[in-house]
Structure 1
């Protein structure tokens, strides 16, 4: 298979406190304040969470390899490091945005696995959005307004207050997301499921067996699987395969690597093993999947 050339340069957009006019790695505001930023680059990724609370929407977003049709009343929940390509008329959009870096909360929240408890964080089985009822949207706007007020008029305890409000906001959105997609929200008996998700982000290109992750965590495969099932409603192998597939699709579509190079990159012993895995999970060959994407078939 020939090398797959990505004709467009992917731009990495870091959180810039000076440009945002704030002293913290968090900001919120209205679409009119940032009109033009979504389509400034054809394709880009960020190092921060981006939430959009749409009152009026149009067009669609290509998020990694998925197409998200934008609708009025949608709450769009984007995780860091996801490729974004916006096909919208920004002048006609009306939304409130919230952006923040994960490390903004770390000095205040001792739970380093907090973001992995958010069911919409790097979710692959359910969409990165939900639709808010009017009373829910009113509450979200109230909390965002409080954050904005603190950012505009900081005092000695502003950081603590903002993190507290943000924490509450993320949790109630998580509850709404879980209810929308019927996901489990059980109180965790341990952190194995969240540690597993953390390890997947670090090692998915080199480690693709659940037993190896169980060994890293020093638990049995059964214990790990039961924990993952309780927290995310899917098996550990399903979570692993979906995360691996996500990474493979992104590399296939947006890098210059051919199949042999992809096999090396993801530590498959032979390109044929990689191709069989991809065909089994998607029902398509690499070439078929790539051609579908070029024809505007996103999945």
Structure 2
């Protein structure tokens, strides 16, 4: 049976099935009220790892989580990300890893989350226009000041991870990864070898599509849903994986978290391992 917890950075204990807050509406009104209920329900159901970012509503998502959950329960980890800024361009955002920008975003996150220290801070993307040593050096300084506990990365290659590990202790990596999208399998392998937490985003992408008959067949045998099977596979696939599925619906939240109790046999895992996928 897969372990239900993992120690991020070797010491920070977290439940392996977390919650991604990106999809939670933050605008005032009934949708925001529902978001507050979902965040609180996630914690009631045992979630101890919640993922957010400066980019999610430009701080509004961080504020929402603080409103819903502060003062935080013992053992609750809210991790955030910095390194993306607003832009006037068509995308509305741009990578910005300048040290002063990273520091400013961290200072705002501390205030919005109502904490004195962010226990896990991740660089949302590496900015190719700024030397990596400058980006990670700024975060390392914040760590030395006690404002950040552990540092992580997001959307990196094995080479970038290796380079970063020469500058900082990398506690986590957050890359796109799922049963049907294993492009970053080499990064996962590197994380597993080094004991680094791997937080897949979009962890159930495509799980309910008509093209995934094998997932549906396994789900039917287990009395589960394809989404639950996909999450259970992630938990069985590697002990360093901590999925962070996100949703703005209470029924989906409860469906996702029930996957932690789903037992896949070795035969099930073999069948799922063999599914045609990208990467």
**TM-score with structure 1 length normalisation?**
0.28
- Point out the structure with the larger helix share: 1
**TM-score with structure 2 length normalisation?**
0.30
Larger Rg: 1
